[in-house]
Structure 1
Amino acid sequence: MLLERIYDEDLAQASYFIGCQATGEALVVDARRDVAEYLELARRHGMRIVAATETHIHADYLSGTRELAATTGAQIYVSGEGGQHWQYGFEANRLRHGDTITIGNITVEARHTPGHTPEHLVLLVTDGAFSSAPGYALTGDFVFAGDLGRPDLLDEAAGGADTRFEGARQLFASLRDEFLSLDDHIQVFPAHGSGSACGKALGALPSTTVGYERLNAWWATYLRDGDEQGFVDELLDGQPDAHAYFGRMKRENRDGPQLLGSLPPIVQMANDDLARRLEADEVIFVDTRDQHAVHAGTVVRSLNVPGLAKAASYGAWVYDPETETRPLVLLAPDQGFAQAMRDHLVRVGVDHVAGYTTDLDGLPTTVPAVVPPAELEGVDVAMLLDVRNRTEHTAGHIPGSEQLSGGRVLWHLDQLPDDGTIATYCQSGVRNSVTASALRRAGYDVVELEGSYAGWSTWKHSQPIATSA
């Protein structure tokens, strides 16, 4: 049996390629939407992708299950659990508790594990050429290395009302009845790692085991003691802010993401034509440099999505394809970078990239307003806005600031002042630059705090302590 983990550092998301080397058949689990890497894996191993499935309706990225099926002819398998409100809206084989998928000598069994979402499945993998019992569990957003999937996303991103409490109780039951019933040696492969917003304390390890989590996970004591309420309270406490685009991901993944097909190469645009289109407000410019370069000068009303590392995440913060139809033009050193950037953006449904340019020559530019920490108190601001997560704000913030995380700002403009200057900060300046660019494009007067909270803290601690005479 072949089992390979394909990890996207941008979204801290893992998908899995499972292949039977005896028959050359393969299954992909929790695929992302740009599917070239799975096709290359199949080619390299001389295999055919005959099936694609997923553990649940994802909230943080668009699934590539349908894309893979359209490209390879693979059979689609999705959860049929969770009740009528959590059924997929496209044609697929429905998996219920105990149903199996067979790939050559490999059997994949679906186990219903509600809590993170009502329809969630764990997939138990048995290598029939080696054993008659499962040796691997693909746990999706149920059990991570050192943590659990959050049960509050339906409230935070999908319009639910207090579903978190029932979800937390379901997680407790799923752990007790399903996960802890598994043998200790079973290797656990989760769908996310450290940095994902799908939990609050995800470990960076790519895998764990049932036995290790049984002995060491924070939740294990609550399960041993049968303390459901203590478990619920700790699970729900301190969850990070859910990005607003998660709601769109839920809807599109439930209904079926639009198929991409074969995308054409991204072409370089002439800057004189680009300047004309920017003047006519026909396209949106995306500056892909870091905040320091942007602060030295950028295109007027441009969005800042700095580099490839978090392009999908930040792209979905600042561009909503449900309300915006104008295509993007990327600042990129070459075509390869531009196409890699597009690959990241389509993972969150930002599909319309019209082209790229390699420089700002001849384009309308501006220098964003930035204020040093020592001068912040002298700026007349209508709001001092902390765009970090609420847990970061609670741990320490600039006095008088209000918190609204960067991934939620554009969807909560009603919480911002109608006029006046907004001063913004994050921890180091990266998220701040991304969010500030979106607010400026939306028409707000924004000044960024140089160095953000880290810079302010350093400056504050360097000030002499006032003493009484």
Structure 2
Amino acid sequence: MYFQHVYDKTLAQASYFIGCQAKGEAIVIDAKRDIDTYLDIAKQNNMKITHVAETHIHADFLSGSRELAAVTGAKMYLSDEGGEGWQYEFDHVGLKHGDKINVGNLTLEVLHTPGHTPESISFLLTDHPATDKPVMVFTGDFVFVGDVGRPDLLEKAAGFTGTQEKGAKQMYESVQRFAELPDYVQVWPGHGAGSACGKALGAVPSSTVGYEMIRNWAFQYKNDEQGFVDYLLEGQPEPPKYFAMMKHLNKVDRPLLTEVPTHNKLTKETFIDAYNKGIKVIDTRNKFDFAKGHLPGSINIQGNNSFATWCGWILNYEEQFILVADEGQMDDLTRKLMRIGLDNILGYVDDITSLGIQTKSNEIIDIEEFKSYIGKGGVQIIDVRGESEYKAGHVKGADNVFVGTLEKNLDKIDKNKQVVIHCQSGDRSAIAQSLLAKNGITVKNYSAGMKEWNEKGNEVVKG
């Protein structure tokens, strides 16, 4: 058996290439959209991708299963569980609990594991030349290392009212069945630490059933369903706004993108014309460089591992946008964006000083100046972190307005006061500062944030 774990650290998303070397056949589970990765693996190992499978209709990334099937001619094997409303709307081989997929001398048995979503399935792998006992289970968003998939996404992100309690109870039942698998079976999940699909995902890529039985909180509620449900639903992070679009696009028949596109560097004239028409400009530079000088109205989303997630919060899928980035970054940034279906890049510019537009600067303050504003009547301090982070410990008197929903909550910003913002370590407050400036609100940014505040032993308020 050939096995390769393919990990996208930008979305903390795992996919899997599994092949039978004797027969030269391979299956890919939960493919990302830039499929050249899998084609290269197949070519390097003299294998043909004959099967493509998914664990569920994903909400956090745009699946590349259809692109991969279109290019390779592989059959798609997708869940037909979950009942009405939870079915894929394009041709595929439907899978039910107990079904088996044969890939050369390998067998993958389908396990229906609802909870995260009603149609969720896992794949239990047996490598027959070696043993007739299962050796691996690919769990998607069911069981992670140290956690289980959240059941509230359908309600919070996709608007399916009343589904989170039902999903939590289904997850409890699925966990009990999972515990019956042999301790030695390796667990390969769909996500790792940093994913918004859970609240306590481990950083190691895989585990075993036995390890999860003693380490994962979900297996400590063996005879306490309500305790399990309450803990599972409590304190989950805000689901990114783009999740609803992913849930839709992964279910319906949509246009395919089988290659990573290239984008043009815009001429000064083309850029200014688009800029004057109000097309959004996403400046991917370092937050400190952006603060020193940037185009008025541009939004600072740094081109790091969180780039796609924050673009998914801020951008509209129907509108074009422009990137400020170096040419050498464009392939990486394009891949990050296409993985969540943000394909409407008009082009990019790499030198804002050559555009003839007067730049603006943002004010970053240090901890001493930040302290001088605390408790003052004419000042509003805003913590732009997530609600659960805020409740775990915040600066006394600070209001909480999450950066991802900031533009929908501008009424919570007191324009008659000096506004001072912060987050954990400056990345989110840089986004927030640029969004507020775009909306005509000038603020001061304590960029070092709660990281420095806590390191220096300052007071925090919980709740």
TM-score of the aligned structures, taking structure 1 as reference length: 0.90
Q: 1:189 and 1:195, CA in 2 relative to 1: closer, same or farther beyond 3 A?
A: same
Structure 2 residue runs of 5 or longer lacking an equivalent are: none
Q: Structure 2 matches for 1:125-164, cutoff 5 A?
A: 125-164=125-164
Show the counterpart of 1:79: 79
> Is 1:327 equivalent to 2:321 in the alignment?
yes
Show the counterpart of 1:181: 180
> Is 1:341 equivalent to 2:340 in the alignment?
no
Q: Structure 2 matches for 1:95-134, cutoff 5 A?
A: 95-134=95-134
Is the 1:305–1:315 Cα contact (8 Å) retained in structure 2?
A: yes
1:433 is matched with which residue: 430, 436, 439?
Answer: 430
Is the 2:320–2:346 Cα contact (8 Å) retained in structure 1?
A: no
1:241 is matched with which residue: 235, 238, 242?
Answer: 238
Is the 2:320–2:345 Cα contact (8 Å) retained in structure 1?
A: no
Q: 1:91 and 1:419, CA in 2 relative to 1: closer, same or farther beyond 3 A?
A: farther
CA distance in 1, matches of 2:206, 2:455: 38
1:349 counterpart SS class? coil
CA distance in 2, matches of 1:95, 1:444: 53
CA distance in 2, matches of 1:80, 1:404: 40
Query: Which stretch shifts more, 189-198 or 227-236?
Result: 227-236
The alpha-carbon deviation at position 148 of structure 1 amounts to 0.9
Show the counterpart of 2:354: 362
Show the counterpart of 2:451: 454
Show the counterpart of 1:406: 403
Q: 1:409 and 1:100, CA in 2 relative to 1: closer, same or farther beyond 3 A?
A: farther
Show the counterpart of 1:278: 275
* Partner deviation per Cα, 1:419-467 (whole Å, 9 max, x = no partner): 55654321111011123323433555444334233355578849xxxxx
* Partner deviation per Cα, 1:278-335 (whole Å, 9 max, x = no partner): 2333x3322111211111111111121212322211221221214xx2232x22222x
CA distance in 2, matches of 1:154, 1:414: 26
> Is 1:424 equivalent to 2:418 in the alignment?
no
The residue type equivalent to 1:108 in the other structure is L
2:286 is matched with which residue: 282, 290, 298?
Answer: 290
Is the 1:285–1:303 Cα contact (8 Å) retained in structure 2?
A: yes
The alpha-carbon deviation at position 405 of structure 1 amounts to 2.7
The residue type equivalent to 1:139 in the other structure is T
CA distance in 2, matches of 1:388, 1:346: 26
CA distance in 1, matches of 2:313, 2:42: 33
The residue type equivalent to 2:196 in the other structure is A
Is the 2:135–2:186 Cα contact (8 Å) retained in structure 1?
A: yes
2:353 counterpart SS class? coil
Show the counterpart of 2:224: 227
> Is 1:35 equivalent to 2:28 in the alignment?
no
Q: Structure 2 matches for 1:208-223, cutoff 5 A?
A: 208-223=207-222
Is the 1:186–1:210 Cα contact (8 Å) retained in structure 2?
A: yes
Structure 1 residue runs of 5 or longer lacking an equivalent are: 463-469
The alpha-carbon deviation at position 46 of structure 1 amounts to 1.3
Is the 2:151–2:164 Cα contact (8 Å) retained in structure 1?
A: yes
Q: 1:394 and 1:256, CA in 2 relative to 1: closer, same or farther beyond 3 A?
A: farther
Q: 1:232 and 1:461, CA in 2 relative to 1: closer, same or farther beyond 3 A?
A: closer
CA distance in 2, matches of 1:275, 1:194: 41
Is the 1:180–1:210 Cα contact (8 Å) retained in structure 2?
A: yes
The alpha-carbon deviation at position 43 of structure 1 amounts to 1.1
The residue type equivalent to 1:200 in the other structure is K
Show the counterpart of 2:307: 311
TM-score of the aligned structures, taking structure 2 as reference length: 0.91
CA distance in 2, matches of 1:186, 1:256: 36
Q: 1:360 and 1:239, CA in 2 relative to 1: closer, same or farther beyond 3 A?
A: same
CA distance in 1, matches of 2:340, 2:65: 14
The alpha-carbon deviation at position 166 of structure 1 amounts to 1.5
2:221 counterpart SS class? helix
The residue type equivalent to 1:216 in the other structure is R
Show the counterpart of 1:467: none
Query: Which stretch shifts more, 162-171 or 179-188?
Result: 162-171
Q: 1:252 and 1:21, CA in 2 relative to 1: closer, same or farther beyond 3 A?
A: same
CA distance in 1, matches of 2:389, 2:150: 18
Query: Which stretch shifts more, 132-141 or 260-269?
Result: 260-269
* Partner deviation per Cα, 1:154-194 (whole Å, 9 max, x = no partner): 121111334222211111111112x1121111100000111
Q: 1:326 and 1:217, CA in 2 relative to 1: closer, same or farther beyond 3 A?
A: closer
Show the counterpart of 1:93: 93
